[in-house]
A = this chain, B = another copy of it.
Amino acid sequence: MSPTVKKNPNLKTQVYNYLKNQIMTGELRPGERLIEEKLSNDLEVSRSPIRESIRMLEKDGLLKVKKTGGVTVVKPTMEDFQHMYELRIEMEPLSSFYAAKRRSSEQLEMIRDSLLSGKQITSKEDKSLNFHEAIVQASNNQWLINMVSHLRGINSFYRKSIIEENPFHVEQAYIEHQKIFQAIVDQDSDGARKFMKQHIESDYNLFMELCRKKEVK
């Protein structure tokens, strides 16, 4: 056997990735119930790896067990959203702060790349994800990376659950990204923190505005 051939990750990991993706993309709707045996048939694996991946997704906050038994996709409320922003508005600036302090030159390049690729995006997809992701990575704090990635993931899923169309203010975002980037280049950690805070705040305001429009409709 060739030693170069990468072995497939185990089934529980594949199932985990599959389900996570289904939830994130909205194929599995909030509130929808997951039936282990049905998944078992559809994916052609036994229930064992399915149950294990369900436990992981529970911990991710994407699934929740009903008191009676049985799991459903989490159904976010506006309050959840509010609470998540209360966190993001502190933690993302924190990640900028440490990114400015500790980024390696490779990491700086990663951030620059994602900044530039974000310039020419359509309003359909949120490539700014990459910019933010590159910044947390550059914070070089594994705990911060995990928490912020997690928050951003759920946040984007929640956002999709609450408002269907999701226009991003591309021009505005790009300007804000530039300011953050420059501060990180200059290793101006306080500036990086401040600009990121403003950026998240304006994202929050945009979101709230969209929610209000939706209510009116």
Q: Which residues of A approach B to under 8 Å, CB–CB?
A: 12, 48, 51-53, 55-56, 58-61, 80, 83-84, 86-87, 90-91, 94, 98, 141-144, 146-147, 151
Cβ-closest 5 pairs across A and B = A59-B59, A83-B141, A55-B55, A52-B55, A83-B143
19 CB contacts below 8 A, A to B, read: A48-B51, A52-B52, A55-B55, A55-B59, A56-B56, A59-B59, A59-B60, A83-B143, A84-B143, A86-B94, A86-B143, A86-B144, A87-B94, A87-B143, A87-B147, A90-B90, A90-B91, A90-B94, A143-B151
Min CB–CB distance A179 → chain B (angstroms): 22
A86–B59 CB distance below 8 A: no
CA distance A98 to B142 in the complex (A): 26
**Interface residues of A: mostly helix, strand, loop or mixed?**
helix
Min CB–CB distance A138 → chain B (angstroms): 14
Write the chain B residue with the least CB distance to A142.
Answer: B83
Write the chain B residue with the least CB distance to A93.
Answer: B90
- Residues from chain B with a CB closer than 8 A to the CB of A59 are 55-56, 59-60
Other contacts beyond A56-B59, A83-B142: 16, CB < 8 A: A48-B48, A52-B52, A53-B55, A55-B55, A55-B59, A56-B56, A80-B142, A80-B143, A83-B143, A83-B144, A84-B143, A86-B144, A87-B94, A90-B90, A90-B94, A147-B147
Min CB–CB distance A21 → chain B (angstroms): 18
Write the chain B residue with the least CB distance to A98.
Answer: B86
- Residues from chain B with a CB closer than 8 A to the CB of A55 are 12, 52-53, 55-56, 59
Min CB–CB distance A131 → chain B (angstroms): 21
Write the chain B residue with the least CB distance to A150.
Answer: B147
Contacts A59-B60, A60-B59; A87 near B144 (Cβ below 8 A): yes
CA distance A59 to B147 in the complex (A): 12
CA distance A144 to B83 in the complex (A): 8
